[in-house]
Chain A
């Protein structure tokens, strides 16, 4: 089995991260933003796993466990918020929530 060089893993992780980030910025639907966030979290997970296997350490996998738990919790909260948002604004458009600009 040939070892995959660290650079390739990191490039994959970066590309995934960027795709996720562009998704967060470009998408207007809050559900898709949440999904793009998951992509970004998984990109970091890939980076940790890759680094752990390259250095033969268990730390990378431990970190990924942590991220998975975090992602699960985050999605739970995020979906709950989405349901409240749909209820209150009758829309999932994130730009509707612009009260921060003040009057």
Chain B
């Protein structure tokens, strides 16, 4: 069992090395078999370990591979080893299963989807490397190893968003994602250093044991540590102040959007907070802050998704909004509900993205929903898959999204760090979710075709198979019973408010209200009035409020004005600074010497003779003197 755990993250690494070394010498079949089977091995191992944990009464597993380096603490001078060590408990087992399982299905899809791409091998290699980094992040026994995986997924995200780097926008999107998450990463690493100087340990178990007993730090220190850790999580999970990179990250190939920007990497922030929940409990202010960030992000992303025209951007904003729900759950102390929603969201969002990818592929890379229409008749199988995904997103009763979202909403009212106001925000968010889902569905799938594009048929068994498995997971994922009580102790609740009796019925009814509203409000989209749809498409350009919503509530403009413009201004002013001049002096000096040397070699015999004589005179003179 130890060996299985030790090998789990490294199978895809082998595939990565093979693909990078041999590149195009491998045929498509061989390359895809290698990359998919190695991920499959990881998925099988994680499934086996999950089964062991669930049924064989093993509470946790850990394996220590080797010592990486040692850290010396400032005050005592004692050394603390930092090991490459893995730790598997219920929480990380759930994460590993989601990452490798969903990752496996997405790899199957990607192998077929990217078949025609000339850089197929590089693509699959990056995907494999991403899985290695993500599995390291999840399995890490200490925060330093977790940080290694954290940076690894950031790197792979950069490489994959900019995979089609010949288009400048894609490269810019990749840079934006990298820089925005880097701000969060910097906060995280400062938080880690602060944690180490305060407690002399970065091992997750030691920290959790410390936090469960007598917490040795002052309130202010704890506040800053948790705030900085939260900063890292906010960056990686695309939450409120650092959320602008996620919609642009849709520049990458669709399997990347599914794997990284919906199912796994963006949930790393949620995982970090859940992993360190014992530390976060010590600082109720930060818990409330997490809840606020989650609630505001889910509303903001929902409002933005209401006016988007690109199918992938709508899904990206809905990802932001769903992660907002997870953050809200974490802030309210509903740890297991948050992780549960993480799992079900991974299933149905991967399904939605991959189906969107299949639709986009079928329509010759048309991503604008205003130009689609009538897909229900033309692509019936994909439409059925998409309906399932949307039903989960909207949280219709019986689907997996229903169970997890209701679990979150149910915890909010009574939570000591959240409260009724968060409950109302979550309900409004759910309403908006159902409205934009209906809008997307009506525009893209109902009515009649607005552009006469021939459909590219793709009946690959890989694509259909992986989508079908995701459909099953999305529908039945809610029944997977994940018991996380061994990891999460319930918050010490002093029951402040009595729950009103109408709470649950309102929460269940909300999606239906949203659907009924959009059935009436978007009836033109539903019936496919071509002129009305064209008008409302133009209104996004003209109407100022809609434009503002369309651009993500102006955050990009705000950051451009606040950061980018002053920065470029300073850079321009500082163009000829002193250091530059010093450096340029060397260059100028070298150029002068070059010019002198070049003019000496003029090919004129008489000059050579004169130079010869001068040299002789100088030499003789020096010798005589």
Tell me the A residues contacting B by CB distance below 8 Å: 21, 24-26, 28, 94-95, 97-102
Contact = CB atoms under 8 A, between A and B. Distances in A.
B116 to A, nearest CB: 49
A76 to B, nearest CB: 20
Given A21-B613, A25-B610, A94 B603 contact: no
A99 B608 CA distance: 13
Contacts of B609: 24-25
A26 B606 CA distance: 8
Contacts of A28: 606
B605 interface: yes
B611 to A, nearest CB: 10
A92 to B, nearest CB: 13
A36 to B, nearest CB: 11
A101 B603 contact: yes
B605 A97 contact: yes
Contacts of A94: 604-606
A94 B606 CA distance: 8
7 contacts: A24-B606, A26-B606, A94-B606, A95-B604, A99-B603, A100-B603, A101-B601
B312 to A, nearest CB: 57
B606 A102 contact: no
A47 B524 CA distance: 116
Interface residues of B, number: 9
B606 A98 contact: no
B538 interface: no
Interface in B584-625: 601-606, 609-610, 613
A14 B613 CA distance: 14
Given A97-B603, A98-B603, A101-B602, 19 more contacts: A21-B613, A24-B606, A24-B609, A25-B606, A25-B610, A26-B606, A28-B606, A94-B604, A94-B606, A95-B604, A95-B605, A95-B606, A97-B605, A98-B604, A100-B601, A100-B603, A101-B601, A101-B603, A102-B601
Contacts of B605: 94-95, 97-98
Contacts of B613: 21, 25
Contacts of A21: 613
B602 A98 contact: yes
Nearest to A28: B606
B110 to A, nearest CB: 54
A95 to B, nearest CB: 6
Contacts of A97: 603, 605
Nearest to A24: B609
Contacts of A24: 606, 609
A24 B605 CA distance: 10
B564 to A, nearest CB: 48
A82 B217 CA distance: 97
What 4 A-B pairs have minimum CB-CB distances, sorted nearest first?
Answer: A101-B603, A98-B603, A100-B603, A101-B602
B319 to A, nearest CB: 62
A83 B188 CA distance: 85
Contacts of A25: 606, 609-610, 613
Contacts of B604: 94-95, 98, 101
A69 to B, nearest CB: 24
A97 to B, nearest CB: 7
Interface string B188-224: 0000000000000000000000000000000000000
A25 to B, nearest CB: 5
A102 B601 CA distance: 8
A98 B605 CA distance: 7
A33 to B, nearest CB: 8
A1 B619 CA distance: 40
Contacts of B606: 24-26, 28, 94-95
A5 B595 CA distance: 50
A26 B613 CA distance: 13
B620 to A, nearest CB: 13
- Counting chain A CB atoms within 10 Å of each CB, which of B602, B605, B610 scores highest? B605
Contacts of A101: 601-604
A95 B613 CA distance: 18
B621 to A, nearest CB: 15
Contacts of A26: 606
B190 to A, nearest CB: 58
A28 B602 CA distance: 15
Contacts of A98: 602-605
Nearest to A102: B601
